[in-house]
Structure 1
Amino acid sequence: MLSQIDYTVVPAFALILVRLIAFFVTVPLFSYRNVPTTFKIGFSFFLAMIIFFTIDRPTVPVDQTYFLLLFKEAMVGLSIGLLAFIVIQAINVAGGLIDFQMGFAIANVIDPVTRAQSPLTGQFLYTIATLFLLSVNGHLLLIDGIFYSYQLIPLDEMVPFGDQSIVELVLRSFSQMFLIAFQMSIPLVGCLFLVDVAIGIVARTVPQLNVFVVGPPIKILIAFVLLFLSMGIYMTVVRQLFDYMLVTMRDLMVLFGGA
């Protein structure tokens, strides 16, 4: 039985597996710490088997270039997943801006998913966005994207990581993330700014009123009401954010493929 195994295809399978593992380490939803590492490795292995029998795989010899190809596959998977993670972090950035205006910036908690300080509103919006991503089968779109990356980025060819277009795409995606975060937070931040102006006017006209005691609860109440009323708009923005994330991943894979 062992003599019937074609060991010449093992190097190509290893290249596929390395890209998948690196991708699931950084991509949103699959890279969360509450997803077991054994699941990530096992899922990557079985998905690599499916891709292995689906794509046109080349015969890759094991030589000095092969180790460079392994490094290239790891960098490709990490880069695609990390770019998607950067784009989706616009939700947390928007939540941080809202928390700063609400007065919740001092109450940042440790997010068990990322093991880092996360704003309360950002964590709330990020949880809803994750549920929305699962409800529209966004996780399947991520898997579909990494599957078609093998058609755009061949296994036996190197990637021009030093290309100026790749650097420009990453910087443009990073700046676009902040722009989307600003657009998501500006309705609430603007309304809370007007609340601050109104509280300042009241403090000048009624000096006996302690605005430092009355102001924060009023801002928090108004922020929760506005957040509830604008939740439908936020879901529309989140949908556009997911579309932009998938388009950015595709553009990066096209540039990696040398197109």
Structure 2
Amino acid sequence: MTRTVRLGVILSLSFLLAPKVYIEFQTDPEKAQVFVALIFKEILLGLLLGVLMWLPVRSLELAGVLIDTQRGSTQAMGMDVIFGVQTMPTAQLLLQLFSGFFFAVGGTKIIATVLFSSAEIWPLAETLPDLQIGAAPIFINLAGVLIFSAVSFVLPISFFMVLTDIVIAYIARSAPTLSALTFGMPIKSAVAAILLIFYLDVAFPRLVEMFMDATNHLEDVLSYER
């Protein structure tokens, strides 16, 4: 998505919130005096939403990196044209497949729902929320979502690749002349590819649910009560 298209999407979603902003400032004119502070507050909220929406995608990329590391292709790097980052082949494949799947199942609607829900959870004319020390475990939990999601995604595939390593090592020890270790990477790549065909049907919907849970996480952080 080019910068011009991204700007158009952002402006389109922002225009839908303009009437709500106008009504809130009309009902409470004093809020207009801190308009600049509210702009910085919205920037902070945008960063928080960006992190919440970034976690599923980043966990998928990390899962692809773990798969490539285990199959022995850590030196293969490529440019992902969708996300504009340099990553490994399996991670790039997973990101591109998930991008198509996400928008095919209504990803634009999910993003718009999260954006509009944030205006209800943290009203546009409100200042900083009353964050308390008890909300700290929520932030810690969000920090662990990335690693946990990546490991849970790659664990079944990693298990079968370990079994493949054991079988190849046994063959190499039983028949050294076959040079079975040289076939380790191709065989593990084939195992990973076959498993991904069946596994993505289960994993991708779970990642979409993580996007939908972004609103709940935001509400937990901003609406925490001791």
TM-score range, shorter chain: 0.7 to 0.9
Residue 142 of structure 1: CA displacement? 0.9
Structure 1 position 92 matched with structure 2 position 61: yes
Structure 1 position 194 matched with structure 2 position 160: no
Counterpart code for 1:37? R
Structure 1 position 252 matched with structure 2 position 221: no
Structure 1 position 72 matched with structure 2 position 59: no
RMSD value, Cα: 2.4
Per-residue CA distance 1:89-131 (angstroms, 9 max, x = gap): 1111111111111122221212223333212112212212111
Residue 134 of structure 1: CA displacement? 0.9
Counterpart code for 2:210? Y
Counterpart code for 1:170? F
| Long gaps (5+) in structure 2 | none
Counterpart code for 2:64? G
Structure 2 equivalent of residue 117 of structure 1: 86
Alpha-carbon distance change, 227 to 50 in structure 1, aligned in 2, over 3 angstroms? closer
Residue 185 of structure 1: CA displacement? 0.8
Q: Secondary structure at the match of 1:110?
A: strand
Distance in 1 between the 2:95 and 2:112 partners? 20
Distance in 1 between the 2:135 and 2:49 partners? 11
Select the residue among 111, 122, 129 that pairs with 1:160: 129
Counterpart code for 1:145? V
Select the residue among 210, 222, 226 that pairs with 2:191: 222
Structure 1 position 48 matched with structure 2 position 17: no
Structure 2 equivalent of residue 23 of structure 1: none
Alpha-carbon distance change, 258 to 157 in structure 1, aligned in 2, over 3 angstroms? farther
Select the residue among 164, 182, 191 that pairs with 1:213: 182
Structure 2 equivalent of residue 38 of structure 1: 4
Select the residue among 20, 25, 29 that pairs with 1:58: 25
Q: How many residues align?
A: 221
Alpha-carbon distance change, 43 to 114 in structure 1, aligned in 2, over 3 angstroms? closer
Instruction: Name which structure has the greater RCO, CA cutoff 8 Å, separation 6+.
Output: 2
Distance in 2 between the 1:221 and 1:46 partners? 44
Q: Secondary structure at the match of 1:180?
A: helix
Residue 167 of structure 1: CA displacement? 4.2
Structure 1 equivalent of residue 208 of structure 2: 242
Select the residue among 129, 137, 142 that pairs with 1:173: 142
Distance in 2 between the 1:119 and 1:165 partners? 39
Distance in 2 between the 1:80 and 1:165 partners? 21
Per-residue CA distance 1:211-250 (angstroms, 9 max, x = gap): 342322222223222223x2xx323222122212321333
CA contact (8 A) 1:184 1:234 kept: no
Distance in 2 between the 1:165 and 1:142 partners? 28
CA contact (8 A) 1:98 1:189 kept: yes
Select the residue among 100, 104, 114 that pairs with 1:145: 114
Q: Where in structure 2 are the equivalents of 1:4-43 lying within 5 Å?
A: 35-43=1-9
Residue 161 of structure 1: CA displacement? 7.8
Residue 254 of structure 1: CA displacement? 5.2
- Identify the structure with the greater helix proportion: 2
TM-score (norm 1): 0.75
| Long gaps (5+) in structure 1 | 1-34
